[in-house]
Chains A and B, each alone.
Chain A
């Protein structure tokens, strides 16, 4: 008989390493009914058939307050699994048991997996598995107690490698497999948490008020009592559906009444009281089943010792800045040589294709599309793929090691000064790589205000697509000062983001950022699997962008440069030339009021890298010839004004699409476009006009 098992548990309980040990490489990402996101699932076979295991996100509770909790809760409520294996951390049993009680209350067949027993023993603790099984009315199995780690091949002592890389094998995992097979058949007794007279009274009143609720709905939550209990603790999923359970609003009234009553008596409401009673039960159970020896020690001392340093107010900030700076340094140090190799490949590949086309006698127009359009436009962008992948790999490492949360901790105060949330800096840093995933990453912010505000300033973070434009102009105009000029643009982007955040925070997004609330997970070594996944996902996303928006932009631009038929390619009489002439006067106050610059900016909307290619096309030169050609049009001052515009206006059409995907609002998306264009234009004009006044003073 085939069986499906959900693996639930707190973060950092070794749940994922158990999952890997159970299913090996038979893993894939799959869709499940009742859940909107994809979950990782794997399978293994035993004598009885196939067992399908789903790795639920690690959570502390089923409170559905965070997206991860909501996914885990919805999955369990959908009853898609025949059995839930609840992974408990033996050395931290109390915390693990809270989630276990909540799952057992849902009345789903469950198996308690006491993991990392070795660690508990090494800390002088011993868990009485039989007592735990009796109290919770569910079978208990222990893993890794005597398991060998396939990685470090140590017996017992390997608990230090509790990272997902560790692959416990042997007795532990085999007995877990057997337990999964037999657990469903075992008789279980429902768990009964003593909630005390006050909570019980409220719960039974709520039960009565919801007696009209459809049977199917209450069964989903494990019966009427459980539904009432979850309502008492104001579970968001139940609160969302309160009208369905109590159409006359009676349940809502009782909830408010009992809440007021308890607040008067205890100083806290019904929801707090319910959770507090559950914790008390968990706490009592934990102290009854865990024997603490004399050698009992606190864990996480290493993490705490590192935290003493990295979270201190000043040193912590310096370490954080150094860490961020290293990420960029390493990205470019490793990425540049690869980019050079790729550049050569693209050029050689292009030559081969053009040669082949010429030999086949392809029409000139096709060769022109391939050489001017596709190779010149898309090829020049593909070169950046390694850098993007490296940057995302580095960010994934920071994230998985646990350091990112410390970054949030030290940055919170600074971000709050400009009206942003501590977590806002994560998407902002990602924005230096590419704005598109950065915009998606704003999802980590719970408060809509914080999220929208962060979204609106991300476009000012100078993404890697803008770098080729900086490099072209800096090389052509600033000689040995080129690195300083490029760096100044990155800084300017941050400054504008800060000013914009303050400005918008005081007008459209009034109010304070949400208070910080974040877990600081214990430090662990990042795993290759996660880092590689993040790198390949970002690489693929960038390739998709290259294949769609950039290719599209390049082809449209190429076509407009060839139309109407018969005009010289990309000449003043072509469509692009005419378009440029219409727009160009607008840019005269910024010092570059000629049509080629206008066209480049218009096509930069597809993707900023296209600006470089556009100049190449319009000026009829490429490579080093472009420097000289640009010098005929720009002065060093107007070139800088142009770079400021390039930095600040709409990142690219993919970023606009991402903004729409995240906000689902045409209004906010148009606002982002107008706001950034306006900011870019005003800053560019200001640079040119002020520069013109000031420059003579320095001569």
Chain B
């Protein structure tokens, strides 16, 4: 388990937990970043992280990317 901000570009991972971000956690869940969902890391070179959730693309700041815990193997 590790934060999505440590995942290399181009990898697909499974979301495990959303650490205490309160409203932000709910918001992420609603757009499809919920525990168990598969997401792709499309851009991660410092600055915001771009996530691929199905066909949709979301940019999250590094603070949020630190709180999205994903499986680090697969």
Contact surface of A with B, Cβ cutoff 8 Å: 60-61, 63, 65, 91-92, 94-95, 98, 233-234, 236, 266-269, 271-272, 275-276, 279-280, 298-300, 303-304, 307, 311-313, 405, 408-410, 412-413, 422, 512, 514-522
A279 — nearest CB in chain B belongs to which residue? B34
Are B55 and A95 neighbours in the complex by a CB distance under 8 Å? yes
Query: Contacts A517-B64, A518-B58: A409 and B26 contacting too (C-beta < 8 A)?
Result: no
The reply on B74 being an interface residue by CB < 8 A is no
- Asked whether A413 and B46 contact (CB < 8 A) given A272-B18, A520-B59, the answer is yes
Q: Which of B51-74 contact A (CB under 8 A)?
A: 53-64
Task: For A61, give its contact among B23, B30, B56 (CB under 8 Å).
Answer: B30
Any chain A CB within 8 A of the CB of B2?
no
Is there contact, CB below 8 Å, between B34 and A65? no
Contact: B32 with A279, CB < 8 Å? yes
Min C-beta distance of A481 to chain B, whole Å: 38
Bound together, the chains give a CA A267 to CA B55 distance in angstroms of 27
Evaluate contact between B55 and A518: CB separation under 8 angstroms.
no
Within the assembled complex, what's the spacing in Å between the Cα atoms of A269 and B28?
Answer: 14
Least CB distance, A348 to chain B, in whole angstroms: 52
Within the complex, the shortest CB–CB distance from A279 to chain B, in Å, comes to 5
CB distance from B11 to the nearest CB of A (A): 15
Known interface pairs A268-B18, A276-B36, A516-B48. Does A61 touch B31 (Cβ–Cβ under 8 Å)? yes
Extra A-B contacts (10), CB below 8 Å, given A275-B34, A413-B47? A91-B55, A276-B35, A279-B29, A279-B37, A313-B46, A409-B50, A409-B59, A412-B61, A413-B46, A522-B55
The residues of A that contact B31 with a CB separation of less than 8 Å are: 60-61, 519
Specify which chain A residues have a CB less than 8 angstroms from the CB of B18 in the assembled complex.
268, 272
Q: Give the residue of B23, B34, B54 whose beta carbon is less than 8 angstroms from that of A95.
A: B54
Chain B proximity of A226: nearest CB distance (Å): 17
Tell me whether B43 and A307 are in contact (CB under 8 A). Answer: yes
Interchain residue pairs with CB less than 8 A apart (12): A95-B32, A95-B55, A95-B56, A267-B17, A276-B34, A279-B34, A298-B55, A300-B55, A311-B50, A312-B45, A412-B59, A516-B59
Report the minimum CB–CB distance from B20 to chain A (whole Å). Answer: 9
Contacts of A304 in B (CB 8 A): 42, 57
CA distance A233 to B43 in the complex (A): 30
Cβ distance A73 to chain B, nearest Cβ, rounded Å: 12
Q: Are B25 and A271 closer than 8 Å at their CB atoms?
A: yes
Query: Given A412-B61, A520-B59, are A268 and B30 also a contact pair (CB < 8 Å)?
Result: no
- In chain B, what residue has the closest Cβ to A277? B34
A307 CB contacts on chain B under 8 angstroms:
42-43, 50, 57
Known contacts A299-B55, A515-B24, A275 near B29 by CB under 8 Å: yes
Minimum CB–CB distance from B59 to chain A (whole Å) comes to 5
Nearest opposing residue in chain B for A409, CB measure: B59
Q: Are B46 and A517 in contact (CB under 8 A)?
A: no
Which of B23, B30, B34, B56: most chain A CB closer than 10 A?
Answer: B30
Q: Which of A276, A280, A299, A408 contacts B59 (CB 8 A)?
A: A408
Q: Chain B's nearest CB lies how many Å from the CB of A439? A: 24
Nearest CB in chain B: distance from A231 CB, A: 13
- If A272-B35, A276-B36, A304-B42 touch, whether A516 touches B26 (CB-CB below 8 Å) is no
- Whether the Cβ atoms of A268 and B17 lie closer than 8 Å is yes
A534 to B56, CA, bound (A): 26
Q: Which of A275, A276, A299, A515 contacts B63 (CB 8 A)?
A: A515
Whether A519 lies near B57 (C-beta < 8 A) is yes
Bound complex: CA A519 to CA B42 (Å): 13
CA distance A303 to B43 in the complex (A): 13
Please indicate which of the listed interface residues B42, B47, B58 has the most CB atoms of chain A within 10 Å of its own CB. B47
Q: Is the CB of A313 within 8 A of B42?
A: no
Assess the B50–A272 pair: CB atoms within 8 A: no
Tell me the complex Cα distance, A234–B29, Å.
12
In the bound complex, what is the Cα–Cα distance between A422 and B16 (angstroms)?
Answer: 27
For the complex, what is the distance from the CA of A92 to the CA of B57, rounded to whole Å? 13
B64 surroundings in chain A (CB, below 8 A): 515-517
**Among B17, B26, B37, B61, which residue has its beta carbon within 8 angstroms of that of A233?**
B26
The residues of B that contact A512 with a CB separation of less than 8 Å are: 63
Interface residue from B34, B43, B54 paired with A272 (Cβ < 8 Å): B34
Residue in B17, B43, B56, B62 whose CB lies within 8 Å of A519: B56
Report whether A520 and B58 are in contact in the complex, using a CB–CB cutoff of 8 Å.
yes
Residue from B17, B30, B43 in contact with A98 in the complex, judged by beta carbons closer than 8 Å: B30
Min CB distance A336 to B, Å, is: 37
Given A405-B59, A408-B59, A412-B61 in contact, is the A422-B26 Cβ separation under 8 Å?
Answer: no
Partner of A516, one of B17, B23, B60: B60
Q: Are B61 and A94 in contact (CB under 8 A)?
A: no
User: How many Å from the CB of A416 to the closest CB on chain B?
Assistant: 8
Q: Report the nearest B residue to A317, measured CB to CB.
A: B47
Q: Known: A311-B50, A520-B50. Contact between A515 and B59, CB under 8 A?
A: no
Task: List, in ascending order, chain A residues with CB within 8 A of B26's CB.
Answer: 63, 65, 233-234, 271-272, 275
Sorted nearest first, the 8 A-B pairs with minimum C-beta distance are A515-B61, A516-B61, A275-B29, A61-B30, A515-B63, A413-B47, A520-B57, A276-B34
Give CA–CA (A298, B36) in the complex, Å: 21
Residues of chain A with a CB closer than 8 A to B17's CB:
267-268
Is A409 in contact with B48, judged by CB distance below 8 angstroms? yes
Which residues on B sit within 8 Å (CB–CB) of A514?
61
Q: Which of chain B's residues have a CB closer than 8 A to the CB of A405? A: 59
A residues less than 8 Å from B25 (CB atoms): 268-269, 271-272
B27 touches A63 (CB 8 A): yes
Q: How long is the Cα–Cα vector from A303 to B52 in the complex, in angstroms? A: 12
Is the beta-carbon distance between A63 and B45 smaller than 8 angstroms?
no
Interface centre among A65, A98, A234, A517 (most CB of B within 10 A): A517
Contact A412 B48 (CB under 8 A): yes
Please report the C-alpha to C-alpha distance between residue A298 and residue B48 in the assembled complex, in whole angstroms.
Answer: 24
Partner of A412, one of B34, B47, B56, B58: B47
Q: B58 touches which one: A272, A298, A515, A519 (CB < 8 A)? A: A519
Residues of B within 8 A of A280 (CB): 36
Name which residue of chain B comes closest to A280, CB basis.
B36
- Nearest-Cβ distance from residue B42 to partner chain A, whole angstroms: 7
The residues of B that contact A516 with a CB separation of less than 8 Å are 48, 59-61, 64
Residues in A with CB closer than 8 Å to B48 are 409, 412-413, 422, 516
Which B residue sits closest to A93, measured CB to CB? Answer: B54
Q: Give every chain B residue within 8 A of A312 (Cβ-Cβ).
A: 43, 45
**Residue of chain A at shortest CB distance from B28:** A517
- Give the complex CA separation of A91 and B60 in angstroms: 25
Note all chain A residues with C-beta closer than 8 A to B45.
312-313
Q: Please report the C-alpha to C-alpha distance between residue A296 and residue B6 in the assembled complex, in whole angstroms.
A: 30
Residues from chain B with a CB closer than 8 A to the CB of A63 are 26-27, 30
A275 partner residues in chain B, CB cutoff 8 A: 26, 29-30, 34
B50 / chain A contacts, CB cutoff of 8 Å: 307, 311, 409, 520
When C-beta atoms are compared, the residue in chain A nearest to B37 turns out to be A279
A446's nearest neighbour on chain B, judged by CB, is B23
